[in-house]
């Protein structure tokens, strides 16, 4: 699955297109690129939809738009004409596609949004990369741990068979992997997919459990812990995710030949996860302590009165657990930020942002 031959990509004078640039991972990646590479040019695209609080997206963008090396374009990757103009005007050599309709639960409520963004939008990205030809050095795109569904043993390995998705979101992400593989084979576009595991941190997505729990506890509402607390999640801190993305961007799958002499698609897949699943009840305990420590909640807050154990929700799985041996082998990196440290940083940001 992962090509042994890596082509080194130099980012110092590159033009990098980041879609979903106002999103959680996208904004952090843009900031890191601008910090690391003095002569880089970063083109950020985002449709700024209101799936969650747009103020958070605006705050993320505010930290980027003052930099002359950063160009922000508001538009939707599902708009073929818009995306074609972006490629024509800016000619990126590296594309990182992080634009997507995220969330498992929302895919049950609003499936059309997932087809539009995750399927049509990604197809448009692939078509523009094909049209770019040799000027495009590497396409890196976001997949998800959700693709593992019900069909895998833990820890999840990229070689596992993943044909039993339990949500439409997961199905669209697996479709992205298949589409990218086809384009890598047909047009020799170097493509790398990244399966992210439960990303969290400051200025994160409000639909994620740690953020949603905090909102509800602050309002005095009851939080619901699914599967009666018998769930484990491989929580991965945002800085670790971005470090992984940055390293992968610089190592594109090579164009080589197989034992039969035929071209092997320049295509790779990696997990990026903490490889340390946390029980949800333990996670909630740590979150509570850090929210008190940051002054988000009072020291005498009655958590038991605001906690309810409930059955598993549709589209969810009991455990996520990343095998990152391929990432470590090829790029010398494995995420390692402890959950408590990451939640402490989130709690401090939350206190500062919401007051």
- The pLDDT value given to residue 289: 97
Quote the CA–CA distance of 343 and 296 in Å, as a whole number: 12
Quote the CA–CA distance of 249 and 345 in Å, as a whole number: 26
Residue 45 covered by a domain: yes
User: How many CA atoms within 13 Å lie on the side-chain side of 23?
Assistant: 23
Tokens 């396409």 appear where? 139
- The pLDDT value given to residue 261: 81
For 21, 201, 320, the CA distances from 346, given in Å and listed in that order, are 20, 5, 21
Give the residues of the chain that fall short of pLDDT 70. Answer: 1-4, 151-152, 315-316
Residue 208 covered by a domain: no
- The pLDDT value given to residue 4: 58
- The pLDDT value given to residue 315: 61
Residue 354 covered by a domain: no
Q: What backbone torsions phi and psi does residue 169 show, to the nearest 5 degrees?
A: -55, -50
Residue 132 belongs to domain spanning: 6-198+236-274+321-336
Quote the CA–CA distance of 128 and 132 in Å, as a whole number: 6
User: How many CA atoms within 13 Å lie on the side-chain side of 154?
Assistant: 16
Question: How many domains does the structure of the chain reveal?
Answer: 1
CB 240 within 8 A of CB 276: no
Task: Give the residue among 77, 117, 94, 100 at the shortest CA–CA distance from 42.
Answer: 94
Helix (H) or strand (E) holding 129: helix 122-132
Residue 119 covered by a domain: yes
- Say which residues have a Cβ less than 8 Å from residue 288's Cβ, sequence separation at least 6: 217, 297, 301, 303
Three-state SS for 299? coil
Residue 341 covered by a domain: no
Residue 342 covered by a domain: no
Three-state SS for 76? coil
Q: What backbone torsions phi and psi does residue 224 show, to the nearest 5 degrees?
A: -105, 125
Give the DSSP letter string of 65-119: TTSTTEEEEE--TT-HHHHHHHHHHH--SEEEE------HHHHHH-HHHHIIIII
37 catalytic, yes or no? no
Q: Which CATH number does the domain housing residue 40 bear?
A: 3.40.50.720
CB 311 within 8 A of CB 228: yes
Tokens 């090829």 appear where? 330
Q: Beta strand pairing status for 256-257 and 263-264?
A: antiparallel
Residue 180 covered by a domain: yes
Catalytic choice (52, 114, 156, 169) = 169
- The pLDDT value given to residue 44: 98
- Say which residues have a Cβ less than 8 Å from residue 312's Cβ, sequence separation at least 6: 226, 227, 231, 318
Residue 102 covered by a domain: yes
Q: How far is CA 301 from the centre of its chain?
A: 33
């Amino acid at each position: 699955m992962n090509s042994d031959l890596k082509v080194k990509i130099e980012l110092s004078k590159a033009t990098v297109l980041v879609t979903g640039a106002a999103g959680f991972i996208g904004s952090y990646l843009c900031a890191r690129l601008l910090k690391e590479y003095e002569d880089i040019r970063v083109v950020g695209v985002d449709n700024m939809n209101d799936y969650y609080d747009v103020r958070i997206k605006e705050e993320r963008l505010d930290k980027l738009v003052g930099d002359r090396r950063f160009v922000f374009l508001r538009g939707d990757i599902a708009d073929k004409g818009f995306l074609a103009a972006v490629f024509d005007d800016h000619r990126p050599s590296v594309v990182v596609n992080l634009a997507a309709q995220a969330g498992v639960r929302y895919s049950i409520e609003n499936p059309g949004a997932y087809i539009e963004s995750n399927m049509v939008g990604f197809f448009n990205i692939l078509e523009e990369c094909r049209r770019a030809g040799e000027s495009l050095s590497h396409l890196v795109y976001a997949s998800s741990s959700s693709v593992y569904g019900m069909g895998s043993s833990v820890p999840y390995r990229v070689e596992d068979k993943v044909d039993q998705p339990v949500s439409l979101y997961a199905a669209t992400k697996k479709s992205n992997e298949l589409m990218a593989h086809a384009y890598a084979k047909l047009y020799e576009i170097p493509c790398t997919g990244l399966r992210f595991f439960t990303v969290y941190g400051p200025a994160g997505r409000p639909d994620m459990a740690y953020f949603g729990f905090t909102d509800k506890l602050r309002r005095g509402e009851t939080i619901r812990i699914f599967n009666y607390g018998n769930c484990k999640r491989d929580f991965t801190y945002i800085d670790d995710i971005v470090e992984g993305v940055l390293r992968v961007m610089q190592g594109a799958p090579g164009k080589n030949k197989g034992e039969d002499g035929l071209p092997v698609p320049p295509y790779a897949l990696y997990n990026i996860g903490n490889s340390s699943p946390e029980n949800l009840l333990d996670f909630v305990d740590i979150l509570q302590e850090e929210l008190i420590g940051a002054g988000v909640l009072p020291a005498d807050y009655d958590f038991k009165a605001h906690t309810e154990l409930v059955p598993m929700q549709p589209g969810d799985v009991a455990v996520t657990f990343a095998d990152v041996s391929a990432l470590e082998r090829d790029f010398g990196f494995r995420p390692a930020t402890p959950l408590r440290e990451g939640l402490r940083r989130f709690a401090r940001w939350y206190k500062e942002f919401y007051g």
